[in-house]
Copies of this chain bind each other. A is one copy, B any other.
Amino acid sequence: MEKIAIIGAGLIGRAWAMVFARAGHEVSLYDAQPGAVEQALPLIREGLAETQRVGLITESPDQIMPRFKACATLEEAVRDADYVQENTSEREDVKRVVFSQLDAAAKPSCILASSTSTIQTSRFADHVPGRSRCLVAHPVNPPHVVPIVELSPAEFTDPAVVERARVLHASVGQVPILVKKEVEGFILNRLQAALLIESWRLVDEGYVSAEDLDKTIRDGLGLRWAFMGPFETIDLNAPGGVADYAVRYGPKLTGMMQGVTARPWEGDLVKKVEAERRELMPQSEHAAREAWRDRRLMALVAHKRAMDKQP
């Protein structure tokens, strides 16, 4: 078992702590905010209990909690670590300082990974002497439920480090993917941006309501995407597979989007969508609906695991 250090014990840090500890690893926790780790531990216990209830883990919180170690300093947390997952503020200046500290404190073989969703490795680690062991490991919130992890190294990152990170994430039940070259938004947020830009535009131009657009995905295409992704979806949607699909439908699908460009999401457009959403869900129910979403995500992941075991 490897030793893991979690730097930053907020929502994402806590979820990562669960991911590694439930897989059997020892997990050191540090947060620059005094008392934050002590506040995080009971929340982690609750999170583990919930995932046990829905059948995503079999061990009890009592079995897992002893694997955590609250640390008073960053140095103490990373001293023996084999892998560090950093979850501090989403600010380049902060991460640059933190990665200098991590590199100074960690043993040479330790991997240093950031949860950042927007800052490339080459921007927060280029100045670090041990930059070849630095990379992005971008999760989707919450990573103890949603398995995807985008590994995005810089050109200076050692490929062996990327491979070790990939093996580690796969071994704890995450689904790591490789972003081969640095790109803004990595893969996931670019795909989300593409879908959102057309979604806002279709509402903006009066073709559909936001509610009906959501239905189109959640009761239509989203059902396929939830277990196949877009390429397998189209591979199965033409008798001759994806190449056949490209010939049959490519010109029509790319053609219909020619000249469509992103417009700002602001003004009356935002007011319109906001009004629709508040009709469907008052803002006062936001936190409860987030909890509902996480329960639904857990149940969906459990459903997919059960289905994956069938022939």
A interface with B by C-beta (< 8 Å): 118, 140-141, 146-148, 150, 175, 177-181, 183-185, 187-199, 202, 205-232, 234-237, 239-243, 246, 250-254, 256-258, 261-266, 270-271, 273-274, 276-278, 280-281, 283, 286, 289-290, 293, 296-297, 299-301, 303, 307
Contact = CB atoms under 8 A, between A and B. Distances in A.
B216 A188 contact: yes
Contacts of A195: 191, 194-195, 230
A202 B150 CA distance: 14
B228 A293 contact: yes
Contacts of A280: 232
Nearest to A181: B207
Contacts of A281: 232, 235
Given A239-B286, A242-B270, A192 B140 contact: no
A232 to B, nearest CB: 5
Contact of A214 (B141, B147, B231): B231
Contact of A217 (B191, B193, B210, B243): B191
Nearest to A192: B221
Count of this chain's copies in the oligomeric assembly:
2
Contact of A290 (B197, B221, B236): B236
A290 to B, nearest CB: 5
8 contacts: A118-B252, A148-B219, A180-B207, A180-B209, A192-B221, A210-B231, A214-B229, A250-B264
Tell me if A's interface is mostly helix, strand, loop or mixed.
helix
Nearest to A220: B148
Contacts of A197: 194, 253-254, 257
B199 A191 contact: yes
A256 B290 CA distance: 27
Contacts of A253: 185, 189, 192-193, 196-197
A178 B243 CA distance: 32
Contact of A218 (B180, B185, B229, B276): B229
Among A191, A199, A234, find the residue whose CB has the most chain B CB atoms closer than 10 A.
A191
Given A140-B220, A230-B195, A277-B241, A178 B208 contact: yes
B254 A262 contact: yes
A193 B293 CA distance: 27
Contacts of A191: 195, 198-199, 202, 213, 216-217, 221
A289 B234 CA distance: 12
Contacts of A207: 179-181, 183, 187
A141 B226 CA distance: 16
Contact of A213 (B222, B231, B271): B231
A256 B179 CA distance: 16
Contact of A236 (B185, B271, B293): B293
B251 A264 contact: yes
B214 A230 contact: yes
Given A147-B219, A178-B208, A191-B217, 20 more contacts: A140-B221, A147-B220, A177-B208, A178-B212, A187-B202, A187-B207, A187-B208, A187-B213, A188-B220, A189-B253, A190-B256, A191-B202, A196-B230, A197-B257, A216-B229, A217-B229, A231-B277, A232-B277, A257-B262, A299-B303
